[in-house]
Amino acid sequence: LASEITLTVNGKKYKVGSEYSASTSLNTFLRQSRVSVGTKHMCNEGGCGACMVTAKIYEPISDSRRSYAINSCLCPVFMCDGWEITTIEGLDDKGNNSIPKRLASYNGSQCGFCSCANVMNMHALLDYHAGAVTMKQVEDAYDGYRPILDAMKSFAL
Ligand code: FES
């Protein structure tokens, strides 16, 4: 791992160096530095998904940068060199058909704690597939509470 890396969060560049230990997660960096407090922290072991963000990463197979939803609690921040991270604060999706509005209109927000993560998961899926997702892709990306799945399925072709 590099001793200093640069990543972009919501369009702004950040350098991360020796002020953080090698085991610092992306989630800890985002929250401790107050870059994103909308990115939540819960189980810290990849089980709940509350910490999900979108990461645009170079993909060698397609020779392009593509978006993935990642659990920021499991990802060491020093792995993120050159990555473009989008969190709920940087989401450019505010219209009536936005993911947050859709989630709310299907009563999929529950207590709201995991809503940001659910939104970022869908944001990554739509971005990866250039806005054209299938029911199967949405079903593969979500499990659990039915209204959340129904809200996200409403984006499928
Ligand atoms: Fe639960 Fe990251 S905090 S998966």
The CATH number linked to 136 is 3.10.20.30
pLDDT for 93 beyond 80: no
Pairwise CA distance, residues 117 & 49, whole Å: 7
Q: How far is the CA of 48 from the centre of ligand 1 (A)?
A: 5
The residue to mutate among 26, 36, 42, 143, having the most atoms of ligand 1 within 8 angstroms of its beta carbon, is 42
pLDDT tops 90 at residue 23: yes
Distance 44 CA to ligand 1 centre (A): 5
- Tell how strand 84-86 and strand 5-9 pair up: parallel
Check residue 1 and give its pLDDT: 56
Q: What is the pTM of this model?
A: 0.93
Q: Give residue-wise pLDDT tens across range 44-84.
A: 999 999 999 999 999 999 999 999 999 999 999 999 999 99
| Pocket-testing residue among 31, 39, 73, ligand 1, by greatest number of atoms within 8 A of Cβ | 73
Best of 28, 36, 39, 51 to mutate for ligand 1, by most ligand atoms within 8 A of CB? 51
Q: Do residues 107 and 150 make contact, with C-beta atoms less than 8 angstroms apart?
A: no
Q: What is the pLDDT of residues 105-151, one digit of tens each?
A: 999 998 999 999 999 999 999 999 998 999 999 999 998 799 999 99
Distance CA 46, CA 41 (A): 10
**Looking at the 3D structure of the chain, how many domains does it have?**
1
* Domain housing 145: 5-153
Rounded distance, CA 40 to CA 88, Å?
Answer: 10
In this prediction, residue 12 carries a pLDDT of: 98
With a cut of 70, say whether residue 2 has pLDDT above it: no
Q: What mean pLDDT is predicted for residues 24-52? A: 96
Question: For ligand 1, which residues put their CB under 6 angstroms from it?
Answer: 41-44, 46-51, 71, 73
